[in-house]
Structure formats: structure tokens, C-alpha cells
Amino acid sequence: MFFVDFCFFVDFCIVISYNNTVMRNLLEKLGFLPCGTIYVEEDDFPRLAFEKTSP
């Protein structure tokens, strides 16, 4: 199980590891915005969620 408190009513959502700076920079260049954090019960590494909505 995991806790989700982000990305409601969006067109597209991507979840990445916090230490994945290459993907984070690419997503920001493509217009994605950070929208929250996911905590997975199986490990102690939070994930960063990005969203992109239609114009």
C-alpha cells in the first residue's frame, strides 16, 4: 500500500525518485510541475510526483 495525496484531476502524472535529477530536469523542461510526494510502504525512499494538465 502507499499513501497518495497529489495529482487529482490532471491529464498526466509521472512519479520518479527524488535523486533522479536528470529526469526531474527533463520533466520540468517539458512543462511538468511537481505536485506532491508518494511514500511507499515497502521502502523508505519517497518519490516525487509531477503533473501536466491540458492548456
Domain ranges (residues) in the chain: 2-52
Q: Do residues 47 and 40 lie in contact, with contact meaning Cβ atoms separated by under 8 Å?
A: yes
Q: What is the pLDDT of residue 55?
A: 60
How many angstroms separate the CA atoms of 34 and 36, rounded?
6
Helices (H) and strands (E) in the chain, counts: 1, 4
Total-model pTM? 0.70
Q: Within 13 Å, how many C-alpha atoms sit on residue 18's CB side? A: 9
What is the reported pLDDT for 6?
Answer: 53
Below-70 pLDDT ranges, the chain: 1-10, 54-55
